């Protein structure tokens, strides 16, 4: 692809606006420049490396919440100058070198704090030079005002000390001189002043002949002369000589300091580049945290039939939040043989916004920017980007809008291949609909044959029909609320969209007679297509509704059976528990009885021995002892008979869902978004329809199931208590209630710790989790998870009863 084609594609996608937004998070000019220079990589390894180090910077910010790179000076030009033999840097330039050394040392240390968990940042820190001797020498030699300090050299200290004492002595002498002048020669409130670098006293003009000396200046009224008296000339000459000596010493020190910098100039340039890159990563991480981005997988794997090569999860346009518009997330899966996504629907329905979002998300990902997408996003690697969006007519080139589009299409067809992303807005428009539709259909077929991925918007019914016939072309639309006559911006795959032109015009107040006339002028075929699309939507909704009702009935029956089975199993476990407890108590009683029997036997034997009983009585006593012991031991053996094996722990309850989750209905085999939760029931939107299902029937998609919080069946003693709770997908205001239940369950079951998964994201969930834990007296301590525990996406709470 030519550089001009990519530059044009990124420009119409408004990619520079995205970069400018991210650059605003940088802390320095070099960091901002690094962000603004970002462009998509074309090699998988480079993309993965760029995303990995950006993700590590997010991890660093989660560990060091207040971390910001120190000021990084734009020092490359002066470092290039320092590398030239004979060049001398001034004190201000050397101050910027010192600032660079300080920033390099600080950032290097910070990036190496978590080298095991963040190895790429640690590797970047290796490029940041650490020159403590040079940094200390510059700090010692420079003062905060941009000059040299007295400590720059011993000679400079001596010279400046002599200057200070000489000037003070001269000023005192001149002040005495002024005070001794006759009053008629004195100037009211006159004092010693500097004129032309020489110390002077103010004298009235008429008294000059009596004072003598050298006149260096006069007042604006010409009535006062500033005179260097004869008594001050010799002392002033000594001061002037010291000042010249100071200048010579300053030049010598600056030359020596520049000579010390010169051998390190190239190393310092490399260090400056690494610091700018670190600041760029900082800006990208701040953007990702603010927008809730998640690192996608970008791959150039071979395409196999039926495999998903494009998956966008909870994806959003990166600029909508800046404009204050609602950023409705979209979910899109495309398989390897689906090469063209055809988006249709009404004007202002969001088609162009979606088109740009798809392009921007890939461009950002391939530039090493974590885009605003959800976990599980998988994008193909594009080596070329092409886009025709908006009115591209050219007055200078005498091209109409249609001609300009055709010229762009010609270039795309010549350059695009199986590794291209092609984005075309309103294909086939701005010309005769019949011919434009035929031309657009041919172009779609060619793009599908070339491979790659093409996303096209249109109003042409002919193209919607073509997509219905060709497996390589996928129809899609953005949902439209026919009741409110406004778009919802929700992407519906495999459904062409109606234009709703007449309906929208009616809502906007166009006269009814005009609308009636327009309706009558529609061709029979056009009316049939619109009617069929509407009927298709209604029938699809009815079929889905009937299917849902049938599956709900079957599901409820299955749930009833499951509840009965669980109840029976729970009662069985409780029965065995009661039996175990009874056996234990009886065993304790019998052991106590055995001890009492032995004590009584010893007492009787002692009594019999001391009373010289007859032999028959002793024999009877022995027989009674044996029988008593045998009875006790038999009872113990009966109690200690092994019981039945305990049943396996019950499976965990379904994961806890929250509004906004994507979920799959087990009974209906449909996927959608959870719009509402009402107790044990939830409203799921799938395919433009809304289903009311039980929460137990829904399975979260793209995330681990959260901790089971089932109400009907309380946990039993022989079920292992949960030590983990998944909070991902929850809103901040939902955290406290859910986490409190998890803490209750963990604390009651005496588990030593609770692992709370909240993900990395913006850090808002992690902060709320920390707030709740800090206010719970049962929690002894909490910390960010270790590398093997999930890192910054996990918080571990340790209980006060642990280890008691």
Query: What domains can be seen in the chain, in order of their start residue?
Result: 3-151+258-289 (1.10.1420.10), 156-239 (1.10.1420), 297-501 (3.40.50.300), 721-804 (3.30.1370.110)
Q: Give 190-202 pLDDT, tens digit per residue.
A: 788 899 889 999 9
Confidence at 724, pLDDT banded by 50, 70, 90: confident
Confidence of residue 639 (pLDDT cuts 50, 70, 90): low
Secondary element (H or E) of residue 335: strand 330-335
Best-predicted range by mean pLDDT (114-123, 224-233, 341-350, 731-740): 114-123
Q: Tabulate helix, strand, coil % of the chain (nearest 5).
A: 50, 15, 30
Q: Which two tokens stand for residue 319?
A: 């600029």
* Residue 503, pLDDT above cutoff 80: no
What does the mean pLDDT of the chain come to?
82
* Residue 804 pLDDT > 50: no
Digit-coded pLDDT (tens) for 690-701: 677 888 888 888
- Taking CA atoms, 239 is separated from 156, 170, 191, 342, 349, in Å, by 14, 9, 19, 85, 81
- Check residue 696 and give its pLDDT: 82
Lowest average pLDDT, out of 66-80, 773-787, 788-802, goes to 788-802
Segments of 43-146 assigned E as strands: none
Map residue 690 onto helix, strand or coil: strand
3-state secondary structure of 103: helix
Residue 318 clears pLDDT 70, i.e. is over it: yes
752 pLDDT higher than 60: yes
Say if residues 387 and 405 touch (Cβ distance below 8 Å): no
Compute φ and ψ for 59, nearest 5 degrees.
-60, -40
**CA-to-CA distance for 596 and 551, rounded, in angstroms?**
67
pLDDT at 710: 34
Specify the higher pLDDT residue, 487 or 55. 55
**Angstrom distance (rounded) from CA 287 to CA 316:** 14
> In the numeric block, which tokens belong to residue 657?
């869902």
- Under the banding of pLDDT at 50, 70 and 90, the label for residue 647 is very low
Q: What six digits make up the tokens of 567?
A: 């109840």
Q: What is the pLDDT of residues 667-681, one digit of tens each?
A: 666 788 888 888 788
> Residue 177's pLDDT is what?
84
105-109, 111-115, 515-519, 706-710: the lowest-pLDDT one = 706-710
Per residue in 754-765, pLDDT tens?
A: 889 888 777 788
| Predicted local distance difference test score (pLDDT) of residue 542 | 64
Residue burial 89-121, b: 16+ Cβ < 10 Å; e: rest: bebebbbbbbbbbbbbbebbebbbebeebbebb
Rounded mean pLDDT of 430-438?
A: 82
> Does residue 340 surpass a pLDDT of 80?
yes
Average pLDDT of the residues in 215-236: 87
Q: What is the pLDDT of residue 523?
A: 63
Give the tens place of pLDDT for each residue, 571-607.
777 777 777 776 676 667 666 766 666 676 667 667 6
pLDDT band of residue 536 (cuts 50, 70, 90) is low
* pLDDT score at 139: 94
Extract the runs of DSSP E, i.e. beta strands, from 208-274.
Answer: 214-218, 224-228
604: phi then psi, degrees, rounded to nearest 5: -65, -40
* β pairing state of 473-481 and 486-493: antiparallel
């Amino acid at each position: 692809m030519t550089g001009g084609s990519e530059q044009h594609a990124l420009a119409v996608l408004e990619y520079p606006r995205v970069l400018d937004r991210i650059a605003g998070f940088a802390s320095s000019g070099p960091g901002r420049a690094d962000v603004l220079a970002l462009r998509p990589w074309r090699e998988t390894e480079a993309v993965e490396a760029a995303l990995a180090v950006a993700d590590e910077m997010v991890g660093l910010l989660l560990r060091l919440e207040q971390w910001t790179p120190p000021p990084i000076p734009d020092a490359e030009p002066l470092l290039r100058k320092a590398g030239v033999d004979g060049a001398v840097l001034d004190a201000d330039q050397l101050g910027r070198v010192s600032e660079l050394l300080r920033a390099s040392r600080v950032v290097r240390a910070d990036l190496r704090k978590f080298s095991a968990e963040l190895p790429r940042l640690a590797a970047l820190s290796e490029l940041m030079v650490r020159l403590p001797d040079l940094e200390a020498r510059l700090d010692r030699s420079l003062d905060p005002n941009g000059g040299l300090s007295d400590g720059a050299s011993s000679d400079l200290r001596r010279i400046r000390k002599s200057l200070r004492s000489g000037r003070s002595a001269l000023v005192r002498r001149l002040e005495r001189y002024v005070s001794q002048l006759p009053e008629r020669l004195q100037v009211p409130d006159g004092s010693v002043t500097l004129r032309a670098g020489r110390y002077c006293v103010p004298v009235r003009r008429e008294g000059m002949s009596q004072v003598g000396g050298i006149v260096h200046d006069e007042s604006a009224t010409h009535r006062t002369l500033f005179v260097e008296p004869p008594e001050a000339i010799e002392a002033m000459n000594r001061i002037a000589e010291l000042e010249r000596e100071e200048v010579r010493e300053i030049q010598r020190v600056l030359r020596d300091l520049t000579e010390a910098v010169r051998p390190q100039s190239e190393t310092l340039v490399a260090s400056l580049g690494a610091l700018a890159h670190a600041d760029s990563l900082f800006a990208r991480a701040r953007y990702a945290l603010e927008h809730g981005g998640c690192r996608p997988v970008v791959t150039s794997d071979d395409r196999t039939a039926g495999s998903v090569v494009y998956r966008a999860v909870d994806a959003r346009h990166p600029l909508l939040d800046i404009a204050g518009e609602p950023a409705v997330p979209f979910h899109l899966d495309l398989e390897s043989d689906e090469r063209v996504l055809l988006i249709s629907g009404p004007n202002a329905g969001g088609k162009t916004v979606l088109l740009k979002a798809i392009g921007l998300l890939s461009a950002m990902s391939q530039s090493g920017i974590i885009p605003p997408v959800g976990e599980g996003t998988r994008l193909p690697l594009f080596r070329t980007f092409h886009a025709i969006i908006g009115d591209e007519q050219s007055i200078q080139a005498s091209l109409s809008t249609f001609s300009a589009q055709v010229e762009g299409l010609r270039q795309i067809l010549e350059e695009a291949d199986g590794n291209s992303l092609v984005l075309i807005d309103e294909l086939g428009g701005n010309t005769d609909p019949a011919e434009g539709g035929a031309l657009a259909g041919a172009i779609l077929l060619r793009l599908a044959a070339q491979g790659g991925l093409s996303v096209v918007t249109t109003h042409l019914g002919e193209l919607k029909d073509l997509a219905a016939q060709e497996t390589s072309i996928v129809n899609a639309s953005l949902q439209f609320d026919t009741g409110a006559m406004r778009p919802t911006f929700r992407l519906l795959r495999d459904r062409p969209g109606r234009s709703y032109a007449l309906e929208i015009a009616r809502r906007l107040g166009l006269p009814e007679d005009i609308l009636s006339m327009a309706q009558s002028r529609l061709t029979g075929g056009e009316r049939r297509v619109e009617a069929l699309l509407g009927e298709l939507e209604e029938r699809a909704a009815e079929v889905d509704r009937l299917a849902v009702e049938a599956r709900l009935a079957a599901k409820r029956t299955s749930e009833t059976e499951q509840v009965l089975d669980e109840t029976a199993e729970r009662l069985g476990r409780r029965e065995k528990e009661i039996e175990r407890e009874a056996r234990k108590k009886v065993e304790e009683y019998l052991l106590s009885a055995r001890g009492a029997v032995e004590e009584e036997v010893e007492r009787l034997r002692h009594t019999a021995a001391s009373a010289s009983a007859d032999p028959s009585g002793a024999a009877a006593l022995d027989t009674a002892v044996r029988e008593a012991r045998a009875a006790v031991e038999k009872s113990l053996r009966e109690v200690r008979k092994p019981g039945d094996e305990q049943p396996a722990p019950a499976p965990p309850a379904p994961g806890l869902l929250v509004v906004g989750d994507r979920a799959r209905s087990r009974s209906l085999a449909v996927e959608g978004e959870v719009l509402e939760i009402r107790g044990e029931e939830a409203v799921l939107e799938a395919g433009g329809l809304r289903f009311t299902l039980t929460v137990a029937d829904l399975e979260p998609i793209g995330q681990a199931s959260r901790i089971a919080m089932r109400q009907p069946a309380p946990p039993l003693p022989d079920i292992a208590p949960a030590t983990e709770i998944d909070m991902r997908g929850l809103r901040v205001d939902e955290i406290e209630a859910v986490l409190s239940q998890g803490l209750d369950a963990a604390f009651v079951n005496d588990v030593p710790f609770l692992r709370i998964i909240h993900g990395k994201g913006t850090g808002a969930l992690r902060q709320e989790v920390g707030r709740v834990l800090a206010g719970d007296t049962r929690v002894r301590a909490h910390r960010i998870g270790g590398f093997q525990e999930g890192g910054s996406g996990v918080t571990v709470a340790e209980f006060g009863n642990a280890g008691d």
